[in-house]
Each structure stands twice: as structure tokens, then as C-alpha cells.
Structure 1
């Protein structure tokens, strides 16, 4: 059984936190909300930090921030650098904001061991390392904040979390009982609200208002067919290059209803340019000829529901013809790979700030 922190440690932590408001960002942790694609202008921001500590020192400290599935910033203790992955985001937020965030992160990094000790009851009898993770996150519909959640986790277990809809902190582990009265105080309530606005909501609004991500793009659709030697047929419907993220993609056969439960989906994932892609495959049972199947796509940039038929069964080709047709493609792909590798070797995209 994990013993609770003694009163001396608790008083020490309260004193430390009262003097250094930067510690409050530790409370903006592990934001896991259902990132549902509820509206076309839906956006979300998530800032996640991970600290690994022994009972005496901090071994590792990392952080990443993601807006709409696009990672835009990262921090690593090893090199003490904030890397803004997208150059124009650095310009939008400004150097002063990045430097301020840098100082905050360094403060949290210094305080990590103390917070872990507070949650573990200052237990130094074991030699195991502890991993603490926390995320600040928010959801917006255009410029309107829908929700924000905070969660603190330790060694894979949720300690305490705050849901703006519930408007109170929920203790999930006995080890966080002594933390609840602190985070519920007026001082920490005001800090929580300020940090959610400054480091989550305001960031999303600035980035979206000044980015090209709001330029809606229609999907490009590619439908393909693969016939296996065992007689099964697999259809693939790939939609890519679309924005915003919300899209509907289903398989239909002739005049029947949509086919549910027989597909496998990649999930909606980000492209490097800020658009998204989605692939759904459908495997038919042996004996099904594959006739009459279509891929149905709905997206706000398509004027109407669009239907894409599946190509027919491919004709058999002689092996030497297939080799000759594949060889040029292989050479082209290899050349592109070498060029890409060379570019990555020569430069690393992004803007870097040293955190002192």
C-alpha cells in the first residue's frame, strides 16, 4: 500500500507552489478527450509532457504539442531545445511567446522530481523509476471553446483529472488525495484558467487564423482491386488531400444499404501538408465476384455525394511484361528516395530555440 505524503512534505510543496506559479503547468496534464469530428471547423490542441525520475534525479523530460494531428513543437531535455516544426507557426506565435514557453518548461523540468515525490509519498525505499505524464488540451469549434480537460498520470495510472464540463477535480488514485485541496484553491483555479487560455485556446486561434489549414480541399479518390490466389477479392478506397478532417466513406453494393462491419479502416490520418487521408478496405468472401460494389464519399468540398465504382477483374499478364513494366517504376522510386535522403541529411526543417 502506498502511504500518503507526510505533513512536512505537504507544507514544503505548498510553499514551493505558492512561490512559483510556473509549477501550475504540471497540473495541466494528460488531456484525453474524445476527439470527435463533430463539426467542419472543429480544432483541438494537445500539449503533452513526460518526465522520468529516480528518487533523487530527473532522467528524462520531453514534450510535444499537436494541433489538429499536426505536431508543431517539441522539447527534449538532452539538448534543451524547443523545436518549432513548422516555420510559419513560429512567426505567428512570435519569439516572445516561444521564449516564455521555454522558461516555463525549464521551470517544470526542475520541479518534476518534487512533484513525483509528492505523489509517491516521498517513498525512497524502492529503486524503481517513476514516469509522470501530463497534458493540457482544449477543443474549439472555430473560435469558440468547447471543452478543456486536464489529467495527471503516474506510472500508467491516472492520479487526478479536471473536466471543464464537470467543473471539478476528480481523484482517481488515493495517492492524489492530498493534491486535490491544493488544485481546488482559488489561486490554482485562476492559474488553470489562465494557462488553458494562454497556452491552448489562444495558440489554436492564432495558428488557425493565420494558417492555410482553413483553406478547404476536396479529396482525391483512388479505388483499387486485388484478386488473391485463394479466390478472395479485396477492394481499397483511398481518399487523400482533403480538409477539413470530417469525411464520410462507405462501401455499397448495387442498391443495397451501406456495408457495415466488413471493412477495415486506417482511421483519418494527417498528411505532411496539413491535409488528411483515409483508407478503407473491404475483403469479400470466396465466391463473390465483386460486381456492383462502389465507394461512396461525402465531404463538404464535394458538391454532392460522389460514387466511385470498383475496377473490373484485371487481365493476366505475362511475367516478363510485368517485370518490364515494374522496373522503370522501381528505378524512379529509388531515385526519389535517394534525393529525399540527401535533403534530410543536409537540413532539418523547423526553428530551434535553446532553453537556458
Structure 2
């Protein structure tokens, strides 16, 4: 159950918007352990870093070389869009194209396409463990490469015509060089020279809820932690809980570049939910730490308590008012007797 303290992930996201004739938008966002470190925009043609030390770490020569390569990529992406449009035209069928020609219809305006490329690599204890490339077109999965197997899989009919190019020796050599230099080596260089973000321990909240139908649910949330590697599990005494209906949110990013995770479990009807702990394993906590449950009563009980308190308050106020009225009446009678 040990956490992956030496695990790191580098993700490079390419987003291209254009037609077969031109690229309207082309930008790149670079994430290391889900924290943005670099970005590139077609309009500025500059590779920018979130922190100045990242540029200093990578060096001016590397930055200039990378900017030139990203500029050269525009021609490749434009070629991709042209070939994509050609494939779509073929799928329209020769009959349709012949009719367009015979009736002298004007050609339709160019169609915008959005291409997304996700290239990522992972290392653990400074050793490369995995890499993958995913391509999507207009929000649909186009093709994917399993880096370990070296196999491209076409996920759309239009992707099949690209397979001979993607699997060619030239493209394979260039792709492997790119992933090594710009994904793995860049990640290692940044990690060796500085940390992306100061480590922060998680804030843990553990609670128990009972619904109106008697189902007991345990909830454990950890938030505000960095790095993202964390393990949460339920424990009763020394036994790790495996039974019951369990669910997890997965590790999700917060706005401040920290992370969040929540796990819940619905207990079996015969389980009273006593002596449960949420065990959290994070590098900043040292040894795994157990957090006991803080019981929260359901809303129905809360309303019952509220109504009871209001009833008591109203009763006290009524008694006080009655006492004041009685006192005034008694005082008035006493004054009348004195006047007589």
C-alpha cells in the first residue's frame, strides 16, 4: 500500500483549429504532475514558462530550438488537415461529386476542424515506465499509440489511411526521439533542478451519515495536498474493509494546483459502522495515518432538535408574558384597593 513518492507524469497537449487552407489557432500547454509549466501560442510564437526558473533550468538554447520546432509543426498539422479533408471527400462518394460538377455547384466553404493531441510519459524512481500518444478530431477519438507496444490503433475510419505513415520507420524514429528529448528528458531536467510546488499535507475530513431508510454511509475526503500520489482506504480495527458498496472520486485537481480525493462506502445493513477509521497514506504525513469518524446526524434529526428548541423557547416566552400580564393586573387591583 506504499505511495508512489517517486512517480512523475509529463503531459503535452496540442490543440489545433483550422481548415485545409490555414490554421486559425495552434497552442500547446505543458503539464508536469498536473501543474502547468510551459505554454506556446501560434500568435506570439513564444514558448513561455509559468515560473522564471523553468526557463533558466532548460536553457536559452533549448527554448529557441523548441520554439523553432513548434513553428515547423504548423506545416505538418496543415498537411494533416488537408489529408483529413481529402478522406472526408472520398467518403462522400463519387456520385455526389459528379453531380456537383455537372450542376456547376460552387464548392462548399472550408470546414473548421479541431485536432487535439495528448502526448504523455511517466517515470518512477527516475526510470521510464510508460508513454502514450492520443489523437482526437472534433472531440472524437481518432487514433492512439501504446508506446510500450509500439502499435497505432485507428479509432475512426478516416484514421486508417494515416496508419502507413504513423507506422513508417522514419516517423517511428522521429516520434521516439521526440518523446525521449521533449517528454522524458525535459521532465527529468526540471525535477532535478527544482520542485514544481512545495509539498503540502492533506486536510482530512471523515464523517458518517445515516439515511432515512437506515443505510449507513462513511465518507472520507482529503484535500489541498501535493504531490498528487495518495492512498485512502477504510479500516475497522486492523482489518482493511473490502465488503460493501465503495466508490472514489479519483484524484482531482484544485484551482491552486493542489489535489482532492474522496472515498465513500455504504455499509451492509447489519454493520453499525462503529470503530471505523479512514487511513491516509501521503508522503507529507510520514507513516500512514488513521482518522476516526466524526458522526453527522441526518437532516431529519437536525430538524427535530431545532423544532424542540423552538418549542421550549416559545413556551418560556409565553410563561414570561403571562407572568408580566398577571403582575400588572395584580398591581392594578392593589392600587384600586388603596384608593378606596
Cα contact 1:218–1:301 (8 A) shared by 2: yes
Cα distance, 1:152–1:232 mapped onto 2, change above 3 Å: closer
Larger % of helix: which?
2
The counterpart of 1:43, out of the listed 8, 12, 32, is 8
Cα contact 1:217–1:241 (8 A) shared by 2: yes
1:116-167, Cα deviation, whole Å (9 max, x unpaired): 1113326566554222221222111232112222233323444444323223
Corresponding position of 2:30: 65
Does residue 149 of structure 1 match 2:146? Answer: no
Does residue 199 of structure 1 match 2:182? Answer: yes
Report the TM-score, using the length of structure 1 for normalisation. 0.64
Cα distance, 1:254–1:118 mapped onto 2, change above 3 Å: same
- Once the two structures are superposed, the pairs formed by residues 311-322 of structure 1 within 5 Å of their partners are 311-313=294-296
Cα distance, 1:229–1:184 mapped onto 2, change above 3 Å: closer
Does residue 135 of structure 1 match 2:150? Answer: no
Aligned-CA RMSD value: 3.8
CA distance in 1, matches of 2:123, 2:225: 20
- Once the two structures are superposed, the pairs formed by residues 107-146 of structure 1 within 5 Å of their partners are 107-121=72-86, 127=109, 128-146=111-129
- Count of paired positions: 284
CA distance in 2, matches of 1:169, 1:268: 28
Corresponding position of 2:228: 245
Does residue 97 of structure 1 match 2:62? Answer: yes
CA distance in 2, matches of 1:135, 1:121: 24
Corresponding position of 1:212: 195
Cα contact 2:209–2:295 (8 A) shared by 1: no
Corresponding position of 1:21: none
Cα contact 1:224–1:237 (8 A) shared by 2: yes
The answer to which structure, 1 or 2, has the higher relative contact order (CA under 8 A, 6+ apart) is 1
Corresponding position of 1:28: none
Cα distance, 1:96–1:260 mapped onto 2, change above 3 Å: farther
Report the TM-score, using the length of structure 2 for normalisation. 0.67
Cα distance, 1:97–1:260 mapped onto 2, change above 3 Å: farther
CA distance in 1, matches of 2:140, 2:274: 50
CA distance in 1, matches of 2:10, 2:59: 18
Larger Rg: 2
1:233-275, Cα deviation, whole Å (9 max, x unpaired): 6543232454553322123456765155534433213456765
Corresponding position of 2:145: 162
